[in-house]
Structure 1
Amino acid sequence: MTSLLPDSQSTEVFYPSSDGEPLAESYVHLCALLATLEVLRQYLLDREATVLSNQFLYYAQGFPRLRVAPDVMVIFNVAPGGRDNYKIWEEGQVPVVIFEMTSEGTKNQDTGFKKTLYEQLGVIEYWLFDPKGEWIKEQLQGYRLRGEVYEPITDSRCEPLQLRLEIEGQLIGFYREDTGEKLLIPEELAEALKQERLAREQAQEQAKQAESQVERLRQHLRSLGVDPDTI
């Protein structure tokens, strides 16, 4: 485990929250990042957890240059909500899962420095998603901590989140292990809400038509001299 420096500091240290670099390498990578962020954020809304994206993760107090900016990281047992940056020694928790949207250009860093760092920090699972399939044929490769060493994940399960991961085009599909239910991305959620509204409107229209048919029948019975309320 990477050791953290003690709290005592002779001078205040500034920890930047931005370096001016682009959020993602390409539009495809950005879409994968944002979809993953929003799906996991919604999934963990009722938990003592936070999901952060592209925020600096500081892991050594007093050394602001010792930082990394995971594409998406999930941290348990912390106050929900966003942060401008995340300092491990202040929050007291290391991310349990980190997702990196990888590419041919970031391959060496993702499988070298970042993988080693996350392993040393004790991040339980580390997932590499290659939305363009540039160097990961299956597009998704995960690593799970066994003791203090990462081993490849072969079952496509994210154990800390209790989710099953599937490749769906250039996005990761997330499915609950307990119910099999898919966690919808914003576009899918909007479409589901639209279909629900249309179904509700259709049901209301059918109910109105049924009421109209009943009233016409009652009127017809009255024209025949039959009181429909006595039938």
Structure 2
Amino acid sequence: MGDSPASAIGMGLSAAYGHQGGKPMRLPPPAPAPPRALGRAELDALYPLETDEPMASSLSHGRAMQYAQLAMSYHLRDVECLVAADYIFYYRELPPEAPGPAPSVTPDVMVVLDFTPPWDTSYRLWEVGKAPDLVMEMSSRATHRQDQFHKHHLYAELGIREYWLHDPHGGYLEPRLEGWRLEEGLYRPIAGELQPELGAETFYSEVLDTHWGRLLDTEELRLWDEERGNWFLPPAESEADRLQQTRRADREARRADREAQARAELEQEVAKLRAQLKGFSESEES
């Protein structure tokens, strides 16, 4: 005699769930659906390419940023890397349904070694798989407290190997260049060394394998160029510096000529006076 429908259903459930030691054995849950690819509008809402974070606050701030980016780009010209200024760095991913924008920071200048970025996106930590290797901030009235406290802790937490602060204005940092190196999750100060022969206080960067410098006479930021054996200057500044040195040398030469001429004229006057005195002496004796 065949099984009743109820018996068949019961046998099916028993086969589906099974029994182990008198307890039901449930099947594993279904695999989660793959994450849905976000459209451009959703990406822009979560990770916009512009933020409200203040950019360069003055001409000196902007020039210092430009110098740092150019100097490090030139120094790392043979290395696959990113050297970027005002590049938005998203460090925490948000679920698609979350309201944006995601938490971000916009370093004045940052360096990421062994990385070639796409040109149309921001820097997203979870996609790249590593934090920047070096960040430099230029302190200003609007940012110096955040640079010294919030970002100091944030960058250490994110694993950024070196953090540098430069004060192009004066009044916010003393000295006006400071650096920290990440050791066991904490930033340790990078000691500076006074080098009068270079006219600077120097600080060694392990990431760049060269020295930053704080010029003693102008407090300007400089990066040491090992090949040239001098501080790096962009072509325009280098030419301007060459012209300034040429003009200075010309002024020194003209001043030396004037001094030599004045000495020669003085010597002629002295010789003339001596000759006159000698003439008077001889006339009195005769």
TM-score by length of 2: 0.59
- 1:132 has 2:169 as partner: yes
The match for 2:153 is: 116
The match for 1:57 is: 89
- The one-letter amino acid of 2:171's match is E
CA distance in 1, matches of 2:48, 2:142: 25
Query: How far 1:93 moved relative to its partner?
Result: 2.4
Q: Relative to 1, partners in 2 of residues 1:129 and 1:10: Cα closer, same or farther, differing over 3 Å?
A: same
CA distance in 2, matches of 1:10, 1:80: 20
SS in 1 for 2:43: coil
Two-structure CA RMSD over aligned residues (Å):
2.7
Larger radius of gyration: 2
CA distance in 2, matches of 1:186, 1:167: 20
CA distance in 1, matches of 2:142, 2:204: 27
SS in 2 for 1:167: strand
Larger helix share, 1 or 2 = 2
The match for 2:132 is: 95
The match for 1:211 is: none
Note if contact 1:129-1:141 (Cα within 8 Å) is conserved in structure 2. Answer: yes
Note if contact 2:133-2:160 (Cα within 8 Å) is conserved in structure 1. Answer: yes
1:13 corresponds, among 35, 38, 43, to: 43
2:77 corresponds, among 41, 45, 58, to: 45
* Per-residue CA distance 1:8-62 (angstroms, 9 max, x = gap): 4675433111136653011110110011111111221211111011111011112
Count of equivalent residues: 189
TM-score by length of 1: 0.72
* Per-residue CA distance 1:138-160 (angstroms, 9 max, x = gap): 10111111110011111311111
- The one-letter amino acid of 1:44's match is L
CA distance in 1, matches of 2:172, 2:36: 44
Q: Relative to 1, partners in 2 of residues 1:109 and 1:192: Cα closer, same or farther, differing over 3 Å?
A: closer
User: Within 5 A, what are the aligned runs for 1:16-31?
Assistant: 16-19=48-51, 23-31=55-63
* Per-residue CA distance 1:122-180 (angstroms, 9 max, x = gap): 10110110112212121011111111001111131111101111113353110146874
Note if contact 1:55-1:86 (Cα within 8 Å) is conserved in structure 2. Answer: yes
Deviates more, 1:46-55 or 1:98-107: 98-107
Query: How far 1:112 moved relative to its partner?
Result: 1.5
Note if contact 1:28-1:170 (Cα within 8 Å) is conserved in structure 2. Answer: no
SS in 2 for 1:13: helix
Contiguous gaps of at least 5 residues in structure 1: 1-6, 196-231
User: Within 5 A, what are the aligned runs for 1:128-207?
Assistant: 128-155=165-192, 156-168=203-215, 169=218, 171-176=220-225, 180-191=229-240
SS in 2 for 1:136: coil
Note if contact 1:13-1:64 (Cα within 8 Å) is conserved in structure 2. Answer: no
Note if contact 1:50-1:82 (Cα within 8 Å) is conserved in structure 2. Answer: no
CA distance in 2, matches of 1:158, 1:61: 30
Note if contact 2:93-2:102 (Cα within 8 Å) is conserved in structure 1. Answer: no
Deviates more, 1:162-171 or 1:67-76: 162-171
